Structure 1
Amino acid sequence: MIFELNKSKEILERTPEVLETLLSGLSKEWVENNEGAKTWSPYDIVGHLISGEKTDWIIRIKTILSDSESKLFEPFDRFAQLNENQNRPIEDLINEFKLLRKKNLNELKFLNISQKDFEKVGIHPEFGNVTLKQLISTWAVHDLGHIAQITRVMAKQYTKEVGPWISYLGVLKK
């Protein structure tokens, strides 16, 4: 598939609803268990998505589109959520994410991005030059990757319980 802003927005608009449907009302074990040391739980992942909405995607898009001579992105703290309040219900995190995402998608809409803007460049602290098209594509794929991660983490909670069916459950082998 070739990049189109509207196709990326289809994913970005739905992610909050997917998370709400998947995680709201579940027992603590489903939401807070992880895959072992130095791995993230679904709770941690939603916190990470919130951090990105606050400090990453729209800020970097605006940096690329700005008239500023400096297009260098601030480094993103991929683990910032681990320093946040860990006692909030998952529903509170999902609601915060929904509000932030809605706000960011509205901002994206009002930026009136043109086709030629997609080739404009920002400077990532690790990768160097990246285009707006790459950044927005990454935003959508980032969502999909974390949705897959959440479902994998949840599935692995029953690794031992599935017995011989494990040979048919690829999600448990990764």
Structure 2
Amino acid sequence: MNFELNKAISVLERTPSTLISLLNDLPKEWTQENEGDSTWSPFDVVGHLIHGEKTDWMVRTEIILGDSPNKEFEPFDRFAQFENSKGKTLKVLLEQFKELRAENLKTLRVKNISAADYSRKGIHPEFGAITLSQLLSAWVVHDLGHIAQISRVMAKQYKEEVGPWPKYLTILNSTPKE
């Protein structure tokens, strides 16, 4: 499938409601547990998504589409959520994510991005030159990856309880890669 903005938005706009439906009002045992040292809980993932809404996807889109000759992106702090989410509830984080995503998609839609804009470039601190279509495609895949991650973390809470079924429950056999 070739990149099309409307198709990308159709996934991006569903992520908040998917996470709200999956996580809202669950006991903390489902949302605060992780897979061990240096792994993230569903709570941590939502905080990470919020940080991305504030400092990553749209900020970088603006750089690519902007008139400035400087197209370099600031490095993204993949762990900022640990400090930024302190003292907040998951309910608050989910609502904040929903609001930020809605605003970002509203902004994205009014940009009137054309297919010609897809090849415009920015400079990623690790990858070098990347196109707008690559950035926006990565945003979609990033969302889907974190939805899968949250599901995996939650599934592993019952890894022992399922008895002999892990052979067929492949989600229980995957390893975390934050």
Runs of 4+ in 1 over 3 A off after TM superposition: none
SS of match in other structure, 1:107: helix
Question: Match of 2:88, SS?
Answer: coil
Q: For residues 13-52 of structure 1, what are the alpha-carbon distances to aligned partners after superposition, in whole Å with 9 as ceiling and x for unaligned?
A: 0000000000001000100000000000000000000000
Question: How much does 1:87 deviate?
Answer: 2.9
Gaps of 5+ in 2: none
What is the aligned-residue RMSD (CA, Å)?
A: 0.7
Alignment-derived partner of residue 108 in structure 2: 108
Deviation at 1:3, TM superposition (A): 0.9
Question: How far apart, in 1, do the equivalents of 2:86 and 2:2 lie?
Answer: 39
| Contact 2:46 2:93 (C-alpha < 8 Å) held by counterparts | yes
The C-alpha deviation readout for 1:75-132, integer Å capped at 9, x for no partner, is 1100000112433221110000000000000100111111100000000000000000
Q: How many Å separate the matches in 1 of 2:87 and 2:151?
A: 22
Q: 1:86 aligns to what SS in structure 2?
A: coil
Query: What TM-score do the two structures reach when normalised by structure 1?
Result: 0.98
The residue that corresponds to 2:17 in the other structure is: 17
Identity %: 59
Match of 1:165 in 2: 165
Report the secondary structure of 1:78's partner residue: coil
TM-score scaled to structure 2, two decimals?
Answer: 0.96
Q: Which has the higher helix share?
A: 1
- Corresponding residue of 1:139: 139
Q: Does the aligned pair in 1 maintain the 2:119–2:132 contact within 8 Å?
A: yes
Q: Which runs of 5+ in 1 are unaligned?
A: none
